[in-house]
Amino acid sequence: MSTPESSEPEPARVFDDLDSFTAAVGEHLGHSAWHTVTQEQVDLFADATLDHQWIHVDPERAATGPFGGPIAHGFLTLSLVPRLAKDIYRVDGLSMGINYGLNKVRFPQPVKVGQRIRASAELAEATPAKQGTQAIVRWTIEIDGEAKPACIAEMVTVLVP
């Protein structure tokens, strides 16, 4: 029996259960595929967040601004982490994962519209929590061809078996 094709990528690393995931503390989990940030994405994010600052949504004005063109919102870059994570890893046997928060977020370099980004992940911590396991993953969002990353973030997730 064949399975329908999925638009979701198969992650590079699949953990059979929560125990095998927590055993990977301290390990680099991998890199996502490259993703091109488009003006359409930036505009949709601006509409969703009501942040229509000209450096994001006015390509003509942004071309004469400090970045030489429109840039993605920092929070758009950060919000792409869950999608990019799907390329990197999956933990089977969970009923859900809950975003618990962020310990630290920095945006060292803006992402210009048209640039490619990818995520890199490291499992920093995994500790027991009331509902399951609290995991801290250190994310670095790289920009193709740039020395500085677009975003560095410690994301805290509660993984519920």
**Element containing residue 94 per DSSP (H, E):** none
Show me where the domains of the chain are located.
13-160
pLDDT at 53: 98
Segment (H or E) for 41: helix 39-49
pLDDT score at 2: 37
Q: CATH number of the domain at 13-160, out of 3.10.20.740, 3.40.50.970, 3.10.129.10, 3.40.50.300?
A: 3.10.129.10
> Can you give the pLDDT at residue 9?
65
Write down the pLDDT at residue 32: 98
Q: If you count DSSP H runs as helices and E runs as strands, how many of each does the chain have, helices first?
A: 6, 8
- Parallel, antiparallel or unpaired: strands 133-143 and 89-91: unpaired
b (16+ CB within 10 A) / e for 144-154: eebeebbbbbb
Per DSSP, 145 falls in state T
pTM reported for the whole predicted model: 0.91
Please name the residues in contact with 60: beta carbons below 8 A apart, sequence gap of 6 or more: none
Per-residue model confidence as pLDDT tens for the chain (161 residues): 333 444 566 898 999 999 999 999 999 999 999 999 999 999 999 999 999 999 999 999 999 999 999 999 999 999 999 999 999 999 999 999 999 999 999 999 999 999 999 999 999 999 999 999 999 999 999 999 999 999 999 999 999 99
